[in-house]
Chains A and B, each alone.
Chain A
């Protein structure tokens, strides 16, 4: 049986466009709003990444740190994250959700326990920022057995040899980090260069769905639209920050932003 993630990519390919993948942090700016935000985003986005906040992130830029900070201040716990997913899935059973975060939260929760909650709430995939290959092999296999996608990351520093191994062990989706940066950095590499690297990775296994993330905003998204998928995160976190500052409703504001992003890649 095809995973919901694969099905989402299949639809996009049929429509000859990249999948739009959004990233927001669970509990930002409140638990309730976070669910409303997912519902709003899902009108235009194909796959939703949902961050579970950690207070000592080693790879997040300022925008996502800000979102995580708000979520933690609101007292967000893993069980709330799963609640949000569960409620979302009740309304949108086919929309894939990928949880993203740092390994210590899973470690403390217990790997099996965590995966059980993923399963029962309807999580489709996981991105664990600080559990690289091959250290992630055991956990990735556990995910596979539960039909949860473990999403491997590749970066501009990943050697070709290593890429081959990672791709061979990957599931339905692979994430290419566009540049040397934490999240939310300015795109400091030309889209041409990014696509050049992207195509080199695709050639290793053209069947794998490869998405690009880091530094993607409404300004840069259209130049990368030949990819299988594009992730926008910091721009959305920033939108929340700014609408809070201006006392606007972040939900409607985000709706407009995602609509605009989508319009640039179709």
Chain B
């Protein structure tokens, strides 16, 4: 049976009454204790997203705090260098804090205030989700705790420093692989124990359904801006327009594509392929992982035959996650989006080429998307357009890049 996207229904609302997308992705596989807090949050969000005053508030903060719109620029030098399709970037890294995670963080803080909560907790991998949540928490006067894998604390130092400066308490997670997957688990466990006083923010479009919805609803700002910018530049959505985005949990991609779902634009997601010489990766869609349950939702997930969640490996902490948003599983199975992966080495090369030729310097996550653009562009006609979501800045990856390439340029 082939899945279909229903027309005129927002992507996040394509689920059935059990909160499953396409009948098999998502849902709420949660302990009983979280049923009520999740129901309460679902009711509150359902109300708020129809509330004019709340929408105005959101738009006000997106404009004045996050900084909307983020730039849409042509990468002239990269285009010339590759000699094919015209390459553009949506420079989401210009948003306050340096990445798209600010949208979700801001909205969660606004919701936490409406819910009367004084504490907010969140997970982070690359440290951006944590940094943004700590920033927004400070702005909206919420006490903030961030769960982060001990391995990621070491490899994403600049963002850790930022969180500390914002007054957040960082809880190092030392279980399992000590990366994002463990941080999300630990954060959920914390919420189970503290859901009466504390609001939880999940850092990407993963987790129980309501967190997927809030996150994708927040990052949708990216494509609301982009579709306008595309019309301004081209007067229409160009034929065969390609929108390329990296996918870890999938929040930036969902936001980058949302307003284009009902257009002819081609949506290409790039997962983390891991090092060239390794069998490990973080690309469940590209490599045909089976459906399993991770962090409360059914999704394609890297796992063994028994159902134990598998290890991942990626140079990019933000993409180093065994699962993927149920939204992307749905987009894959409906064939609305196509997914591929880039290796660590390809991402590094892409980082280097873009940083050398252009005024932007993508972090290792969007460098995966640039790697795909670099592969595709030379094969395409100069009338075709590629837009890459440059959703993070390389500064946070300085240490890793120096270690791998010998020097860091920006």
Tell me if A108 is interfacial: C-beta within 8 Å of chain B: yes
Contact A130 B18, beta carbon cutoff 8 Å: no
Could you say which residues of chain B place their CB within 8 Å of the CB of A102? 293
Residue of B whose beta carbon sits closest to that of A156: B33
Contact B185 A103, beta carbon cutoff 8 Å: no
Tell me if B237 is interfacial: C-beta within 8 Å of chain A: no
Residue of A whose beta carbon sits closest to that of B298: A107
Could you say which residues of chain A place their CB within 8 Å of the CB of B185? 56-58
Q: Which of A118-126, A175-183, A230-238, A239-247 touches B? A: A175-183
Could you say which residues of chain B place their CB within 8 Å of the CB of A108? 290, 292, 303, 305-307
Residue of A whose beta carbon sits closest to that of B36: A157
**Cβ distance A238 to chain B, nearest Cβ, rounded Å:** 16
Q: How many residue pairs at the A-B interface have CB separations less than 8 Å?
A: 112
- Annotate B16-50 by CB proximity to A: 1 below 8 A, 0 otherwise: 00100000000111111111110000000000000
Could you say which residues of chain A place their CB within 8 Å of the CB of B35? 132, 155, 157-158, 162
Q: Which of A59-67, A196-204, A216-224 touches B? A: A59-67
In the complex the two chains form, what is the Cα distance from A58 to B200 in whole Å?
A: 14
- Contact (A55, B308) CB under 8 Å given A135-B18, A162-B35: yes
Contact A182 B192, beta carbon cutoff 8 Å: yes
Could you say which residues of chain A place their CB within 8 Å of the CB of B31? 58-59, 129-130, 132, 153, 155
Tell me if A54 is interfacial: C-beta within 8 Å of chain B: yes
Q: What is the size, in residues, of chain B's interface with A at 8 Å between Cβ atoms?
A: 36
Residue of A whose beta carbon sits closest to that of B194: A180
Tell me if B175 is interfacial: C-beta within 8 Å of chain A: yes
Could you say which residues of chain A place their CB within 8 Å of the CB of B293? 102-104, 107, 130
Residue of B whose beta carbon sits closest to that of A108: B307
Q: Looking at the complex, which one of B176, B193, B294, B295 makes contact with A185 (CB distance below 8 Å)?
A: B193
Tell me if A205 is interfacial: C-beta within 8 Å of chain B: no
In the complex the two chains form, what is the Cα distance from A182 to B34 in whole Å?
A: 11
**Cβ distance A108 to chain B, nearest Cβ, rounded Å:** 4
Tell me if B369 is interfacial: C-beta within 8 Å of chain A: no
Contact B189 A59, beta carbon cutoff 8 Å: yes
> Could you tell me which residues of chain B, from 330 to 352, have a CB within 8 Å of some CB in chain A?
none
Could you say which residues of chain B place their CB within 8 Å of the CB of A56? 176, 181, 185, 294-295, 308-309
Tell me if B196 is interfacial: C-beta within 8 Å of chain A: yes
Q: Looking at the complex, which one of B29, B36, B176 makes contact with A135 (CB distance below 8 Å)?
A: B29
**Cβ distance B378 to chain A, nearest Cβ, rounded Å:** 41
Q: Looking at the complex, which one of B32, B192, B290, B309 makes contact with A55 (CB distance below 8 Å)?
A: B309
Tell me if B146 is interfacial: C-beta within 8 Å of chain A: no
> Could you tell me which residues of chain A, from 44 to 97, have a CB within 8 Å of some CB in chain B?
54-61, 65, 69, 72, 77-78
Could you say which residues of chain B place their CB within 8 Å of the CB of A58? 30-31, 185, 188-189, 192, 295-296
Contact B307 A158, beta carbon cutoff 8 Å: no
In the complex the two chains form, what is the Cα distance from A81 to B78 in whole Å?
A: 57
- Contact (A180, B33) CB under 8 Å given A58-B189, A59-B192, A130-B293: yes
Could you say which residues of chain B place their CB within 8 Å of the CB of A181? 192-193
Tell me if A257 is interfacial: C-beta within 8 Å of chain B: no
In the complex the two chains form, what is the Cα distance from A77 to B304 in whole Å?
A: 11
Tell me if B210 is interfacial: C-beta within 8 Å of chain A: no
Contact B292 A107, beta carbon cutoff 8 Å: yes
Tell me if A260 is interfacial: C-beta within 8 Å of chain B: no
Could you say which residues of chain A place their CB within 8 Å of the CB of B309? 55-56, 104
**Cβ distance A141 to chain B, nearest Cβ, rounded Å:** 16
The winner among B34, B176, B295, B309 for most chain A CB atoms within 10 A is B34
The winner among B30, B189, B290 for most chain A CB atoms within 10 A is B189
Residue of B whose beta carbon sits closest to that of A77: B306
> Could you tell me which residues of chain A, from 126 to 181, have a CB within 8 Å of some CB in chain B?
129-133, 135, 153-159, 162, 177, 180-181
- Contact (A130, B308) CB under 8 Å given A135-B18, A153-B32, A182-B189: no
Tell me if B144 is interfacial: C-beta within 8 Å of chain A: no
- Contact (A177, B307) CB under 8 Å given A57-B185, A130-B296: no
Could you say which residues of chain B place their CB within 8 Å of the CB of A133? 32
Residues on B facing A (Cβ under 8 Å): 18, 27-37, 175-176, 181, 185, 188-189, 192-196, 290-296, 303, 305-309
| Interface CB pairs A-B, < 8 A, 10 | A58-B185, A59-B31, A107-B291, A108-B307, A129-B31, A131-B29, A132-B35, A135-B27, A157-B33, A180-B33
20 more A-B contacts (CB under 8 A) besides A135-B29, A158-B32? A56-B185, A58-B192, A58-B295, A59-B33, A59-B188, A104-B307, A105-B306, A107-B292, A107-B307, A132-B32, A135-B27, A153-B32, A155-B31, A155-B32, A155-B35, A157-B32, A157-B33, A157-B196, A180-B193, A182-B189
Residues on A facing B (Cβ under 8 Å): 54-61, 65, 69, 72, 77-78, 102-109, 129-133, 135, 153-159, 162, 177, 180-182, 185
